[in-house]
Structure 1
Amino acid sequence: MSLFAHFSNSVEFSVNFFKTIDHSISISLQEAENISELMHSLQGAFSETLYVYSPVVSFLLDKQEKISLLSIGLGLGYIEIMVVSQLLARKKSILDNEDFCIQSFESNKNLICFFKDFFLGKAVPVLFEDTYKDIVSKMAVYYNLAAIDIMNYMKKLIFNNKIILNSKFTNETKLVRPVSGVFFDAFSIKSTPDLWQINVIKNVLQEKNLLNYCCFATYASRSILKKELKECNFKIIPKVGFSGKRECIFAIKEI
C-alpha cells in the first residue's frame, strides 16, 4: 500500500489517498486534529467490497426477494456502485422497480457532496473524480459492463431519489422504507464509537426497519453485533474475514 496524494479544502477537511495492494484506492480523513483510520483493508478496497458485501445482493437475487438496501458508511461509494453494477449485470429490471432503493448514510458532508455531484455531472476535485472513475472502471471490468452504463444508471438513481444520500445514522434515524439488506460499513469502534452504541445498532435492526427476509453484512465480527442480530432472529452464517481476518459477519433473517 502506498500514499500517493493529498487533498485539502479547509482546516476541517483533508484527505490522504492510498493505492491498496489490489491497485484500488482508499482514503483516510483528517478533520480538525483527528486523522481517521484507512477506510478499507490495505489488501484492497475493491476486493474487500466484493468479498464482504456483494453476497448480500447475490443472496437476495437468488431468493427472488425485494431489494431495498441500507448502507451505513458511504465513504467513496464502493458499495453503492457495486450494487448497481451487480444488478445491471444480473437483473437490470430491479433497478427500475418501484421497490428498489439504497438509503445511504455518511457523517462527512464533503463525501456526500462529491459523490452526488460526480454522478450528476458536476465538477468535483480531480482526485475524487479520478477515484470515482477508477471504481466504476473496475466494477465495469469485473461485471463485464460498459462503464458508461454504470455511470448513467447511477445518475438516474440519484436524480430519482432511488439512491438516497443522508447524513449520519443515529439512534433516532427513521428510514423511508424497510430494507432487505444492510451493509454496516462504519469505521471501527475506536474511530466512530457513536455508531457502535447499542441504541444505534438496535435502531438499525428494529423490526419496522427490516423486511421479513433480510441479509446483514459487515467486515467486523464484534460480539455486540452478533448478540443483537441473534436477538432479532438473524442466523449468523460462518464466514472467514477478508485477507486473513478471523471472521466477518454475514447473517440472514427469514420470517
Structure 2
Amino acid sequence: MKLVPTADKSPSLEITYSGEVSELMHHSHGAFPESVYIYGETLALAIQHNIQPHILSIGLGLAYNEILSFCISEKMNIDISMTTFESEPFLRDSFFQWTQGHSENSPLYSSYDTILKMATDYYQVSISSVREQLKSAFGSKQLVMKNEFQFEAIKNEKFSVIFYDPFSNKASPDFWTESFLSSFLSHHADLSCIFSTYAATGILKRTLKANKFEVELRNGFGGKRHSTRAIRSSIS
C-alpha cells in the first residue's frame, strides 16, 4: 500500500493484490473531484429530495466519502448517520486516530488534512466545525466503522444512501456478482434509496433494475465511459 498523488494533488492509495497486480483507488485525473462527482453529488441529491441520509459506504480507503459527507451535512444543515466497511485495519485505525486528534504520526495524517482542506474549501464550510463533527460522530454513533463486509454485521438494517466503492471486479470479484448484489440490495437498500458507484457493469445494472431501481447511466469521471447512479421509490 502506498500513497500516490493524483493530477490535482489530491492523494490516492495504490494497493497490490495477488502478490503482483496493483490498483489505484481513484482516477489519476483527481481523487478529490472524482469522489465529489460520484458520491458527494449523490448525497446532496438525496438531501434535496428530503431523504434523511442513513448512509452505507463500502470501502473507507482514505475517507473521502466520510469527510465529504460531513462537509455536506454542515453545508446543508442536516444530520447524517453513516456506517462504513473497510477490511484493512490500518486504514480504519489511522482515520479514527486522526479524527480524535491523537498525536501518533501516521503517514496518512497529512493526506486526511489535505482532503479536509480541499473539501471544506469546495463546500465553503468551516474546517474546525467539520473536524468537530467528525470527532464527535464516533462517540454519538453517527459514524460507525466496521471491518470487512458481512451481512450479519448489520443484519437487515436499511440505508437510504449507498456509496458502493469496493475495488474493481479484478481485485474484489465477490462484490460484483449478481447473487451478492441481489442479496445486498434486498437486505440493505431502503424503500427510498439512492445508490452510486464508479462502475457500470451489465450485471450491476440488471440487478439494480430487478430490485426496482431506476438506473441512470452517468458519464464516468476523467474519461471513463460510464458510472452508475440508481434511484428507487420516491426519489426522482
Question: TM-score, normalised on structure 1?
Answer: 0.86
Corresponding position of 1:76: 62
* Structure 2 counterparts to residues 118-137 of structure 1, below 5 A: 118-137=98-117
1:51 to 23, 30, 37: 37
Residues 181/175 of structure 1: CA separation in 2 closer, same or farther (3 Å cut):
farther
Residues 175/162 of structure 1: CA separation in 2 closer, same or farther (3 Å cut):
farther
CA distance in structure 2 between the aligned counterparts of 1:126 and 1:45, rounded to whole angstroms: 20
Shift of 1:197: 3.1
Residues 171/193 of structure 1: CA separation in 2 closer, same or farther (3 Å cut):
farther
Residues 172/228 of structure 1: CA separation in 2 closer, same or farther (3 Å cut):
farther
Shift of 1:33: 3.1
CA contact (8 A) 1:41 1:48 kept: yes
Deviation digits for residues 130-165 of structure 1 (CA, Å, limit 9, x no counterpart): 000111000110011121111110011122221110
CA contact (8 A) 1:73 1:106 kept: yes
Residues 229/32 of structure 1: CA separation in 2 closer, same or farther (3 Å cut):
closer
CA distance in structure 1 between the aligned counterparts of 2:182 and 2:20, rounded to whole angstroms: 28
Residue segments in structure 2 that go unaligned for 5+ positions in a row = none
Corresponding position of 1:209: 188
1:196 aligns with 2:176: yes
CA contact (8 A) 1:236 1:249 kept: yes
Residues 147/182 of structure 1: CA separation in 2 closer, same or farther (3 Å cut):
same
Shift of 1:195: 2.0
Aligned-partner SS, 1:239: strand
CA contact (8 A) 2:16 2:22 kept: yes
Q: Greater RCO between the two (CA within 8 Å, min separation 6)?
A: 2
Shift of 1:55: 2.1
* Greater CA drift, 68-77 or 169-178: 169-178
CA distance in structure 2 between the aligned counterparts of 1:251 and 1:111, rounded to whole angstroms: 28
CA distance in structure 2 between the aligned counterparts of 1:244 and 1:31, rounded to whole angstroms: 25
Corresponding position of 2:206: 227
Corresponding position of 1:29: 15
2:94 to 114, 123, 135: 114
CA contact (8 A) 1:215 1:250 kept: yes
Aligned-partner SS, 1:133: helix
CA contact (8 A) 1:120 1:159 kept: no
1:253 aligns with 2:220: no
Deviation digits for residues 33-70 of structure 1 (CA, Å, limit 9, x no counterpart): 35540110000000100011112212111111111011
Amino acid at match of 1:153: Q
* Greater CA drift, 102-111 or 187-196: 187-196
Residues 176/34 of structure 1: CA separation in 2 closer, same or farther (3 Å cut):
farther
CA distance in structure 1 between the aligned counterparts of 2:125 and 2:10, rounded to whole angstroms: 18
1:152 to 132, 135, 138: 132
Question: TM-score, normalised on structure 2?
Answer: 0.93
CA distance in structure 2 between the aligned counterparts of 1:22 and 1:112, rounded to whole angstroms: 25
CA contact (8 A) 1:173 1:203 kept: no
Considering only aligned residues, what root-mean-square deviation do their CA atoms show, in Å?
A: 1.8
Corresponding position of 2:216: 237
CA contact (8 A) 2:182 2:211 kept: no
Residues 229/184 of structure 1: CA separation in 2 closer, same or farther (3 Å cut):
same
Shift of 1:32: 8.5
Residues 236/124 of structure 1: CA separation in 2 closer, same or farther (3 Å cut):
farther
Shift of 1:202: 2.1
Identity of aligned residues (%): 29
1:180 aligns with 2:160: yes
Residue segments in structure 1 that go unaligned for 5+ positions in a row = 1-14
The size of the alignment, in residue pairs, is 234
